[in-house]
Amino acid sequence: MNILETKGLYHDFSGLQVLFGVNLEVREGERHAIIGPNGAGKTTLFNVITGTYEPSRGDVYFKGQKITGFKPHQLARIGMGRSFQITSTFQKLTTFQNIRMGILSKRGIRFNLFQRVDKMSGITRETDAVLDRINLTGERDFPASLLSYGKHRSLEVSLAMSTDPDLVLLDEPTAGMSKDETHNAVQLIRRLTEGKTMIIVEHDMDVVFSLADRITVLHHGEILAVGPPNEIKDNQEVKDAYLGDLVVEV
Ligand SMILES: Nc1ncnc2c1ncn2[C@@H]1O[C@H](COP(=O)(O)OP(=O)(O)O)[C@@H](O)[C@H]1O
Ligand SMILES: [Mg+2]
C-alpha cells in the first residue's frame, strides 16, 4: 500500500516552473530516497508535500486522504513529520526543551507553567527517553546553538521524529557533515526510522545506496526513474543525467 502519493503535481515560483506533473509513490514501511541534481526541485517537492507551498496543479494523498492545502501543523497531527535542509531547531532552547516541544506539539498541548504536574512529569520522562535514544543525554541542558554541527543535525532529525510520525521526510540530513558524523547520523536515522516510512533527500550516494529501499530520481522537475538501488545504479538515463561515472559500492 502507498502511504503517500502525489498526482500530477506542478509548482512554479511566479512563473518559474519547477515541478512538472510529479507522480511520486511511497510505500508504507519503506525508506525512500529522492535524488537528483541541485535545482531539480527536491526541496520544493518536500515543501508541497508538507504544506509549506500549495501546488499550482495536482494533489497530494496521505494514507488515502487528500491533503492538498493542509497546513504543516495539521499534517503533524495526522502523522507526518519533517526536517529541513536549513537548520530548524530552536537555538535558544536546550536540547531537552527542543525535544519536549516536539512531543507537546504532537499532543496539541501548549507548554505553560501551570500545566498539571503529573502530566508534565510524564512528558519529562518521555523526553528524557528520547534523549537517551539519540545519545544526547550528555547535552540535555545545552542550548541547541552550542551543540556541535553533527549533534545539531541529529537533534533536527530527532525533532522530526519526536512527534512519532508514521511518515517522516528528511531533507539532506547529512549535509555539511564530516565522514564520521555522517556515519553516526546514518546509524541514528536507521534506528529512529525502524518500522516507519521515511522519505529522504540526500546528495551523498553512499548514504542513499546503503539506506534506501527504493529511489526516485528527479530531474528538471520530472521523475526520471524509480526503483531499488541496484536498478537505479545501472540505469543508463540516470547515469547520463546525474550519476555520471560515479562508482558506488552497494
Ligand atoms: N522560494 C523560491 N523562489 C524562487 N525560486 C525558487 C525558490 N525555491 C526554489 N526555487 C528554484 O526552484 C528550483 C528548484 O529548487 P529546489 O527545489 O530547492 O531544488 P533542489 O532541492 O532539488 O536542489 C531552482 O531553480 C531554485 O532556484
Ligand atoms: Mg534542496
Q: Is the CB of 98 under 6 A from ligand 1?
A: no
Which grid coordinates belong to 120? 508534565
SS3 16: strand
Q: Is it the case that residue 127 has pLDDT exceeding 80?
A: yes
CA dist 137 and 212 (Å) reads 29
Q: Is the CB of 219 under 6 A from ligand 1?
A: no
The gap between the terminal CA atoms of the chain, to the nearest Å, is 26
| Cβ–Cβ < 8 Å for 139, 151 | yes
pLDDT at position 119 is 67
Q: Quick one: pLDDT band at residue 83, thresholds 50, 70, 90?
A: confident
pLDDT at position 250 is 47
pLDDT at position 111 is 56
Q: Supply the pTM of this predicted model.
A: 0.87
Pocket test for ligand 1, best of 24, 44, 217 (most atoms within 8 A of CB): 44
Determine which residue's CA is closest to atom 8 belonging to ligand 1: 44
Which grid coordinates belong to 210? 546503503
The rounded Å distance from CA 199 to ligand 1 centre is 19
The rounded Å distance from CA 19 to ligand 1 centre is 10
For 2-243, which CATH class? alpha beta
SS3 82: strand
Q: Is the CB of 47 under 6 A from ligand 1?
A: no
Q: What are phi and psi of 223, to 5 degrees?
A: -80, 125
